């Protein structure tokens, strides 16, 4: 009678598979480093647990029973699946497998995170990665809702209750068409932007807020006649001669054809960028924790070091 509460030992299945591979009990015992009596005991316990005979024994000759043939067809996939599961658990525990989900603002995502992810994944070929790109509000919402493990952006809205760990200050520079009247000076006073068309990103963008706050603090009155919803579009618009823009230095490095980069004097335009995550009580996956650690090590090479002006 079949036992409805099977408690099959994996070692018993491994012994059964080894018998099939080696051809008999004696060679299976040698291959596993067991005594032949231990192999026989494994098979007897497996038969008792399953409620069927797995072998026909005729003197010294042993052949598979119909039940044994059925188990033979299934035990290999079962044991292979268990081995795969064991490897997967080891990868998850070590951060070399599983999934890494993060969100970031631009140009941090493409200029900073993408190269680090390439390096990170070379040592973790089993890792699946999803990188979402959005503005700070979108990144923060994704973190708050649990859609990603963590984010990289400017300080998130206070009401979301997220933790913000500053990493680096993103320096910003003035990008001008090469033939622009202000392009001849290596440094451009913020006040001289008055009367020139300034291109800005959309309302609510963290970069726009940083630019507007710095110019306001410097007492520089400028005309924002054009809004463009992406930094890439902003750079291309400067190339076309539409106006000037204050952009993250890394977004225009090197300066695109037909443009020049200049230091803006009298206005400290930087954006503080950092790690954003949920409450400390929520554990990160090993992969997410490892990549956050990698970003902390790299942060000193990005932009200006915290508290210092861009070089």
pLDDT digits (tens, 9 = 90+) for 84-124: 666 656 655 665 557 899 999 999 999 999 999 999 998 88
Q: What is the DSSP string of 193-253?
A: GTTSEEEE--TT-HHHHHHHHHHHHTT---EEEEE-SSHHHHHHHHHTTS-EEEEEGGGGS
Domain containing 21 — which CATH number? 1.10.10.10
Full-model pTM: 0.68
Domain assignment of residue 309, yes or no: no
Domain assignment of residue 61, yes or no: yes
Q: Are residues 285 and 148 in the same domain?
A: yes
Domain assignment of residue 138, yes or no: yes
Q: Are residues 278 and 265 in the same domain?
A: no
pLDDT at 305 over 50: no
Q: Are residues 39 and 71 in the same domain?
A: yes
pLDDT reported for residue 138: 94
pLDDT reported for residue 86: 67
Q: What is the mean pLDDT of the chain?
A: 85
What's the domain count of the chain?
A: 3
Domain end point (choices 78, 94, 110)? 94
Domain assignment of residue 81, yes or no: yes
Q: Are residues 289 and 140 in the same domain?
A: yes
- Mean pLDDT score, 276-290: 81
pLDDT at 311 over 50: no
pLDDT at 289 over 50: yes
Q: Are residues 176 and 257 in the same domain?
A: yes
- The C-alpha angle 216, 221, 223, rounded to 5 degrees, equals 115
Structural contact between residues 230 and 242, judged by C-beta atoms closer than 8 angstroms? no
Domain assignment of residue 284, yes or no: yes
pLDDT at 55 over 90: no
Q: Express each pLDDT in 173-224 by its tens digit.
A: 999 999 999 999 899 999 899 889 999 988 888 999 999 889 888 888 777 7
Q: Express each pLDDT in 240-278 by its tens digit.
A: 999 999 999 988 889 999 999 999 999 889 999 999 999
pLDDT reported for residue 155: 95
Q: Are residues 152 and 282 in the same domain?
A: yes
Q: CA-to-CA distance for 181 and 174, rounded, in angstroms?
A: 13
pLDDT reported for residue 98: 75
Token output for 295: 């970003």
Q: Length of the chain, please?
A: 311
Q: Are residues 140 and 287 in the same domain?
A: yes
Q: CA-to-CA distance for 202 and 230, rounded, in angstroms?
A: 8
Domain assignment of residue 134, yes or no: yes
Q: Are residues 243 and 186 in the same domain?
A: yes
Q: CA-to-CA distance for 224 and 235, rounded, in angstroms?
A: 15
Name which of 87-96, 118-127, 287-296, 297-306 the model is least confident about. Answer: 87-96
pLDDT reported for residue 217: 87
Q: CA-to-CA distance for 149 and 278, rounded, in angstroms?
A: 8
pLDDT at 5 over 60: yes
Q: Are residues 72 and 135 in the same domain?
A: no
Q: Are residues 250 and 175 in the same domain?
A: yes
Indicate the angle between helix axes 36-50 and 25-32, nearest 10 degrees: 110
pLDDT reported for residue 295: 94
Indicate the angle between helix axes 286-298 and 114-122, nearest 10 degrees: 130
Instruction: Give residue 86's domain range.
Output: 10-94
pLDDT at 60 over 80: no
Domain assignment of residue 22, yes or no: yes
Domain containing 283 — which CATH number? 3.40.190.10
Domain end point (choices 94, 116, 145)? 94
- Mean pLDDT score, 24-53: 87
Q: Are residues 177 and 233 in the same domain?
A: yes
Q: Are residues 32 and 89 in the same domain?
A: yes
Domain assignment of residue 2, yes or no: no
């Amino acid at each position: 009678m079949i036992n409805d509460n099977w408690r099959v030992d994996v070692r018993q299945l491994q012994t059964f598979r080894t018998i099939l591979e080696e051809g008999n009990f004696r060679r299976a015992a040698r291959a596993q480093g067991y005594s032949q009596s231990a192999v026989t005991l494994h098979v007897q316990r497996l038969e008792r647990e399953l409620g069927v005979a797995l072998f026909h024994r005729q003197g010294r000759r042993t052949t598979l029973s119909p039940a044994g043939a059925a188990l033979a067809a299934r035990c290999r996939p079962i044991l292979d699946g268990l081995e795969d599961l064991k490897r997967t658990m080891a990868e998850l525990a070590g951060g070399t497998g599983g999934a890494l989900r993060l969100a970031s603002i631009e140009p941090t995502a493409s200029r900073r995170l993408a190269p680090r992810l390439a390096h990170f994944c070379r040592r973790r070929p089993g890792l699946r990665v999803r990188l979402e790109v959005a503005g700070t509000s979108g990144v923060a919402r994704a973190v708050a809702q649990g859609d990603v493990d963590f984010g990289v952006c400017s300080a998130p809205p206070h009401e979301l209750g997220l933790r913000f760990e500053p990493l680096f200050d993103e320096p910003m520079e003035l990008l001008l068409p090469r033939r622009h009247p202000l392009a001849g000076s290596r440094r451009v006073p913020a006040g001289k932007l008055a009367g020139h068309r300034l291109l800005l990103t959309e309302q609510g963008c963290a970069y726009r807020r940083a630019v507007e706050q710095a110019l306001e603090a410097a007492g520089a009155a400028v005309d924002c006649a054009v809004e463009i919803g992406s930094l890439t579009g902003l750079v291309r618009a400067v190339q076309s001669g539409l106006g000037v823009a204050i952009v993250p230095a890394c977004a225009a490095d090197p300066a695109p054809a037909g443009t020049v980069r200049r230091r803006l004097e009298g206005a400290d335009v930087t954006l503080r960028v950092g790690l954003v995550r949920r409450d400390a009580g929520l554990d990160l996956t090993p992969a997410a924790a490892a990549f956050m650690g990698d970003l902390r090590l790299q942060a000193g090479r990005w932009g200006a070091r915290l508290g210092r002006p861009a070089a």
